[in-house]
């Protein structure tokens, strides 16, 4: 994975080096830009996110313009929920959202089925998009085909966030909560394996509900962490690289976050960059953490300055992929995205 003098790495090699804590030729770049790419097609986003071929073409068009090293592929936060049987609203100008909970009581978990991702919609369409991207770019660009929501987030959608938080707060049905989380983990794991089978180089889960912005560190350790750790371990047995994403300020759980064993941690801009770097050094790769609000509303020189500052903190010892701290909004100016890409080239040489 190490670059030789005069022979720069391609994107696949560059990302692979960073994830394996080796030294790439420069800091690689990810764009969490599925909404931005879908919006740029001019089609209703509801149409793009239902159709794997359209989604793949949107991501390809974005890559042709920006040339980023990692394509993070998804259609939003409701894919797993819909595959499980939830009703989902597809919006014209934003990502789809899950509507009402699937279960009204924890006892209903026993009747839930882990669907076949190759048959369940919309998983089957994201698998199609993964195959297309793998065929087109898989030998030179890193494809992170996202397994949508992790155990805690999917459980919250299925049960309803308010109801699940109340279940956790009362602590009266701990075993049933773990059963729901276990089901959600099995859904995400099965989907993750299918995405890798279709050509993804890594996969990812979102777990923002497990973060300190919404859940106490004690409850994170009690409920979310064991399932995240188990998912990481199971996927590692299959040689699969998993990213773990927790939105918001994760300062109070950085040690646990790293200890999940996920090979990549996707970090929000709210987290103290020094604290997470100290915890992650020589243990895992950090991805992020440029403010998505800045990306949407800032100016290119402001983005350049933010990237320069983060690169100075996270570049030492490698294990760093520059990118937004969460999903980019649909209408992020192209000039701002170019500023992020160019900052990696300008400041990120090893």
pLDDT at 230: 98
pLDDT at 98: 95
Q: Are 15 and 3 in contact (CB under 8 A)?
A: no
pLDDT at 7: 64
Is 189's pLDDT higher than 80?
Answer: yes
Is 332's pLDDT higher than 90?
Answer: yes
pLDDT at 3: 44
The tens digit of pLDDT for each residue in 49-95 reads 999 999 999 999 999 999 999 999 999 999 999 999 999 999 999 99
The tens digit of pLDDT for each residue in 233-287 reads 999 999 999 999 999 999 999 999 999 999 999 999 999 999 999 999 999 999 9
The tens digit of pLDDT for each residue in 193-239 reads 999 999 999 999 999 999 999 999 999 999 999 999 999 999 999 99
Q: Are 69 and 323 in contact (CB under 8 A)?
A: no
* pLDDT bracket for residue 5 (50, 70, 90): very low
The tens digit of pLDDT for each residue in 145-167 reads 999 999 999 999 999 999 999 99
């Amino acid at each position: 994975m190490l670059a030789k003098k005069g022979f720069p790495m391609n994107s696949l090699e560059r990302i692979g080096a960073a994830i394996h804590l080796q030294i790439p030729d420069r800091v690689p770049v990810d764009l969490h830009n599925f909404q931005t790419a879908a919006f740029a097609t001019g089609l209703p986003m509801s149409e793009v996110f239902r159709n794997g071929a359209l989604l793949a073409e949107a991501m390809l068009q974005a890559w042709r313009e920006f040339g980023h090293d990692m394509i993070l592929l998804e259609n939003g936060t409701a894919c797993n929920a819909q595959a499980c049987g939830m009703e989902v609203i597809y919006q014209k100008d934003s990502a789809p959202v899950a509507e009402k909970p699937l279960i009204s009581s924890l006892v209903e978990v026993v009747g839930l089925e882990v669907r076949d991702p190759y048959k369940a919609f919309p998983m089957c369409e994201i698998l199609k998009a993964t195959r297309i991207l793998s065929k087109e770019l898989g030998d030179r660009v890193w494809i992170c085909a996202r397994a949508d929501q992790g155990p805690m987030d999917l459980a919250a959608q299925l049960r309803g966030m308010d109801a699940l938080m109340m279940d956790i707060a009362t602590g009266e049905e701990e075993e049933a909560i773990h059963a729901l989380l276990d089901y959600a983990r099995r859904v995400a794991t099965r989907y993750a394996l299918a995405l890798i089978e279709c050509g993804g180089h890594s996969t990812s889960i979102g777990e923002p509900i497990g973060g300190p912005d919404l859940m106490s560190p004690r409850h994170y350790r009690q409920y979310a962490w064991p399932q995240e750790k188990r998912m990481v371990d199971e996927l590692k047995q299959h040689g699969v690289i998993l990213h773990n994403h927790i939105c918001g300020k994760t300062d109070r759980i950085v040690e646990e976050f790293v200890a999940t064993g996920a090979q990549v941690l996707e970090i929000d801009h709210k987290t103290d960059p020094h604290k997470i770097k100290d915890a992650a050094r020589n243990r895992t790769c950090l991805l992020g953490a440029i403010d998505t609000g800045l990306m949407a509303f800032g100016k290119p020189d402001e983005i350049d300055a933010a990237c320069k500052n983060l690169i100075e903190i996270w570049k030492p010892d490698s294990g760093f992929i520059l990118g937004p701290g969460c999903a980019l909004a649909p209408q992020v100016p192209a000039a701002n995205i170019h500023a992020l890409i160019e900052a990696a080239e300008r400041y990120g040489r090893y």
